[in-house]
Amino acid sequence: MEPSGEARPRMLSGVKVLDFTQYLAGPTVTRFMAEMGAEIIKVEQAPMGDPARLLPIVKNGRSAYFVQQNRGKKSLCLDFSKPRSIELLHSLAARADVVVENYGAGVLERKQLDYASLRGINPRIVMASISAFGRTGPLAHKTGYDFIAQAFSGLMHMTGHPDRPPVFVGMGIADQGSGVHAFAAIGYALYHREKTGVGQHIDISMVDALYHMHELNVQSYTMTGGQHVPQRSGSHHTLVCPCGVFKGPQGYIALLVLDRQWPAMAKAMDRADLAADERFATGPKRAENREELIAIIEAWMSSLASDAAVLEVLEEYRIAAAPVLSVADSVTHPYFQARGMIRTVPDPILGELTIPGFPLKFSEFPDLPDIAAPLLGEHGAELLRGHLGLSEEEIGELRASGILFSAEV
């Protein structure tokens, strides 16, 4: 179990966040902020709340997916169709530091919960909006999700084998990548606000978050006048060779050999002759003869007793290499255990749940908070009482009129 309790306020303690997010991209932002001590008011629409509450794996009506993304947040469930709900949210926005949302285009505008409306209430507000194609531009109206962003950004075109269809990356990289971008941008916007007193709107596109990661493809195409058209290259790098995934004695091994390391790689394989072989004398020549080189490397690997033996030899010669781990491999691997990336957390419905750990390691905050995901509407009364000063009678009236909602899951 992780340490419980906090010795002192965390870095974002005192920061109040209105969280109009669902599924993955937006919740990623506020999940990071919750870990760092911010108060996250997760605003959910009655009666179902965040649709992620229904995503698998579900046990006793509780979604492990939802729990992983929403730990440390407080749930306020309101009927957005009722004007009184919007009034309450405006009052909360007047007291908030940050708003995060990832609704479809026009949804918050129709409810007067968009940046223009909230800035009129609170000029210091920092608001981050995440969408597939951004809030401006010719495609701002389009609906999109992680899979769509991967396709439109070119990432999918560059993933997979050249003679096969494009491949979807095996995790929500657009959702979570845009979420981490928004998390960083919010921090700088808050820093700017401390200097100027002025908030601002942050417009994050999932497509943009992926597109800017083309470290080579865009400029290699434009600088050659379109003569070099980047294509997917399967399990091996297009330029660096050898660099890719190789069949080992037991599983698969990824390795990367820099040009200056080629003689060392030849020695590691007990094939010093390869260092003088004209077919492999330079990086471009090795790339031209990649299939022959792959066969040589895999033949050497297969001559050893295990993947561990292969990796031991490569480490001896300082060749960068690693096994291709499955999720099943990772959850028991000493690396992830030692780095705190296998994290067992408590949940009132699921019991103990194993999730990925927090990737940011701060020297002044080595321990992580002991936080849980909320039940639907669990904190509604607490939030309205604590932040807006509503009486028990007023809260009871909100419940009776269907404005304030809560449900056991």
175 noted as active-site residue: yes
- Would you list the DSSP string of 28-94? HHHHHHHHTT-EEEEEEETTT--GGGGSSSEETTEEHHHHHHHTTEEEEEE-TTSHHHHHHHHHHHH
Neighbouring C-beta atoms of residue 39, cutoff 10 Å: 22
- Would you list the DSSP string of 126-177? EEEEEESS-SSSTTTT----HHHHHHHTSTTTTSS-TTS-----SS-HHHHH
Single-letter residue type at 280: F
Determine the Cα–Cα distance for residues 213 and 339; give it in Å rounded to an integer: 26
Determine the Cα–Cα distance for residues 20 and 32; give it in Å rounded to an integer: 15
Token pair 């509604």: residue:
380
For residue 95, the surrounding DSSP H or E stretch is helix 83-95
Catalytic residue among 175, 203, 208, 307: 175
Q: Among candidates 112, 143, 111, which has minimal Cα distance to 23?
A: 143
Determine the Cα–Cα distance for residues 123 and 381; give it in Å rounded to an integer: 27
Token pair 């060749």: residue:
319
Residue 60 has, within 13 A of its CA and on its CB side, a CA count of 8
Q: Is residue 252 classed as helix, strand or coil in its secondary structure? A: strand
Determine the Cα–Cα distance for residues 202 and 50; give it in Å rounded to an integer: 22
Six token digits for residue 154: 């070119």
In order of 83, 84, 93, 403, the CA distances from 87 in angstroms are 6, 5, 10, 11
Distance of alpha carbon 13 from the chain centroid: 22
Distance of alpha carbon 135 from the chain centroid: 20
For the chain, the residue count is 409
β partners of residue 345? 353
* 8 Å CB contact between 77 and 376: yes
Q: Among candidates 143, 202, 141, 149, which has minimal Cα distance to 172?
A: 149
Which residues are known catalytic residues?
175
